[in-house]
Amino acid sequence: MLIDSQKGKVKFKVVYHGIAMSGKTTNIEQLAKKSGLEVLSFDTKEERTLVFDFVTKRMNVNGFEITFSIYTIPGQDIYKDIRKMVMRGADGVVFVVDSAESRLKENKEFIHVLEEDLRMQGKTLEDTPIVVQYNKRDLPDAVPLEELKKEVSIPGKKFTEAVAVRGEGVEETFNLMVEELINRFKRMTG
Ligand SMILES: Nc1nc2c(ncn2[C@@H]2O[C@H](COP(=O)(O)OP(=O)(O)O)[C@@H](O)[C@H]2O)c(=O)[nH]1
Ligand SMILES: [Mg+2]
């Protein structure tokens, strides 16, 4: 978080984390589309983000001009150095879960990857603003929500359901993240 109190400006970094192909890029593309913004993608091939995608979004809250820098990580393990670089300085994380039955185990294991990425920054799952998004709810083999929540969840975090490809649940997810970050900012600034 960067604060310029003289100018009344605050900057937050939000990272969309989660396994490869869970819908992270789709989320920020949809967010950008709804706000008329453009996504910068670096080396995207065959729908797989090799580096990251990036978009900035501005909002006004209580007289502060708040800028969100939004990034996605590459989910494949071979790009872990890039992932760690993208995670640097993250204020909040949206953890995008693929609801497909076939990817249940991978999603579950990836929570440990997130935990490790945060640990490298001296942070924990507990003290980081995180929203869990159960994406691809439209899939015929989507794991029922109650079951998915039991298998893949982070204690104490809010969650949403989404069909990112249709834009459903995308803004709701981001707004929850914004709320978490702003509440924390308000607590900090008294
Ligand atoms: N059925 C379905 N497919 C989705 C959904 N969201 C994303 N996808 C598809 O999943 C694939 C991977 O999405 P992408 O956003 O590139 O995933 P990323 O690797 O996490 O960035 C693409 O073919 C998307 O169109 C969804 O809600 N439902
Ligand atoms: Mg991607």
What dihedral angle (degrees, nearest 10) is formed by the CA atoms of 98, 103, 108, 111? -50
What is the rounded CA–CA span in Å between residue 11 and residue 84?
A: 20
To the question of pTM greater than 0.85 for the whole model, the response is yes
Ligand 1 pocket test, pick from 15, 16, 43, 47 with the greatest ligand atom count within 8 Å of Cβ, gives 47
User: What integer pLDDT is reported at residue 39 of this predicted model?
Assistant: 85
**Segment 3-23 mean pLDDT:** 92
Nearest ligand 1 atom to the CA of 16 is: 20
Residue found under tokens 């009344």: 8
User: What integer pLDDT is reported at residue 61 of this predicted model?
Assistant: 78
Please check whether residue 129 is in contact with residue 91, taking contact to mean a CB–CB distance below 8 angstroms: yes
Confidence label for 23 from pLDDT (cuts 50, 70 and 90) = very high
CATH topology for 2-189?
Rossmann fold (3.40.50)
Measured by CA distance, the residue closest to atom 23 of ligand 1 is 47
Nearest ligand, CA 167: 1
Q: Is 103 helix (H, G, I), strand (E, B) or coil?
A: helix
Beta bridge partners of 135: 98
User: What integer pLDDT is reported at residue 49 of this predicted model?
Assistant: 61
User: What integer pLDDT is reported at residue 3 of this predicted model?
Assistant: 85
Nearest ligand 1 atom to the CA of 139 is: 1
Distance of CA 63 to the CA centre of its chain: 26
**Segment 92-120 mean pLDDT:** 97
The predicted-structure confidence for 149-158, as pLDDT tens digits, reads as follows: 999 999 999 9
Confidence label for 144 from pLDDT (cuts 50, 70 and 90) = very high
pLDDT value at 109 more than 60:
yes
Tokens of residue 102, six digits:
């076939």
The predicted-structure confidence for 28-82, as pLDDT tens digits, reads as follows: 999 999 888 888 877 655 555 667 788 899 988 778 899 999 999 988 888 889 8
Kindly report the backbone phi and psi dihedral angles of residue 127, in degrees, each rounded to the nearest multiple of 5, phi listed first.
Answer: -90, 5
Question: For ligand 1, is residue 127 a contact (CB within 6 Å)?
Answer: no
**Segment 95-103 mean pLDDT:** 98
